[in-house]
Every structure is written in C-alpha cells, then in structure tokens.
C-alpha cells in the first residue's frame, strides 16, 4: 500500500529524493500538492524511503474514511454479509454510492458502512 492514493484528488502519490549537500525526501501528491512532512538529512545520513512513505500513510489515515475510498473498493454494510462495491462518493452530501452483488445500486451514509476496505481481510495478504 505504498502508493495509497491521495484523499483529496485521487492522484497517485510520488516519492521524491533531492540530493545535494545532504538530502531532502518527501512523499505526496503531485496533482494537488498535498505532501507529508519532508525530512532532511546531512551527508552521513541515508535517505529512508520507507519512513517517508509511512509519513504519507499517517497523513492519509487522518482523513475521513469517505475521502479514502476508491471506485471499485469493497465494503460491507450493516444487515448484509454481501460485499458492496464503491461506484463513487459525493463528498458534499457525505454519501457513498454502492452496488451490491446483484447489480443494484444504492446510496449510504458513512454510518451505514460496517467494514471499510482497509478493515476487510485482503485475499492472500496481497496489498493493493
């Protein structure tokens, strides 16, 4: 889940390492300019890409769940054990448009979601 998408615009994040007299590294979204805190190191300090991505994940995790959904994500709703697939979200109304396994579409508020994609077990432990 390195390149967990941007919660603001859905853009694909990037990792940037600038080297010169020491280095600066940061991760974030080139599309809208949301970046996690950069870190600087001097010449005897190695860049740490994994830590940089972790700061991005920490930042994204603070956004409301509805902003972290992707089209095609799977969620569970209350009173049903069927997987529902995200068709889209309406942030202004705070509604999530879902399609069930029978192809029927309906809208839900975030309170109607029982399990978010990141709370569902990943098949084979494969991260997306």
Q: How far is the CB of 3 from Zn ion (least distance, A)?
A: 12
Structure tokens at 26: 């940061």
CA distance 46 to 58: 21
Q: Is 56 exposed, middle or buried (0-12, 13-18, 19+ CB in 10 A)?
A: buried
Pick the closer one to Zn ion by CB: 6 or 98: 6
Q: How far is the CB of 99 from Zn ion (least distance, A)?
A: 25
Q: How far is the CB of 30 from Zn ion (least distance, A)?
A: 8
Pick the closer one to Zn ion by CB: 1 or 32: 32
Interface residues with Zn ion (CB under 5 A)? 6, 8-9, 11, 29, 31-32, 34
Pick the closer one to Zn ion by CB: 11 or 47: 11
Q: How far is the CB of 1 from Zn ion (least distance, A)?
A: 16
Task: Say how many C-beta atoms besides its own lie within 10 A of residue 46's C-beta.
Answer: 7
Length of the chain, in residues? 128
Structure tokens at 106: 């309906």
Pick the closer one to Zn ion by CB: 15 or 115: 15
């Amino acid at each position: 889940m390195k390149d967990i998408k941007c919660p603001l615009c859905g853009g694909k994040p990037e990792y940037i390492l600038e080297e010169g007299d020491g280095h600066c590294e940061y991760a974030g979204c080139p599309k809208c300019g949301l970046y996690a805190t950069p870190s600087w190191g001097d010449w005897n300090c190695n860049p740490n890409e994994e830590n940089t991505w972790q700061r991005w994940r920490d930042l994204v995790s603070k956004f409301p769940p509805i902003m972290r959904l992707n089209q095609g994500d799977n969620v569970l709703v209350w009173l049903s054990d069927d997987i529902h697939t995200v068709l889209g979200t309406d942030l202004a109304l705070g509604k999530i448009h879902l399609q069930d396994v029978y192809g029927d579409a309906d809208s839900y508020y975030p309170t109607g979601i029982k399990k978010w994609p990141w709370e569902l077990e990943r098949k084979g432990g494969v991260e997306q």
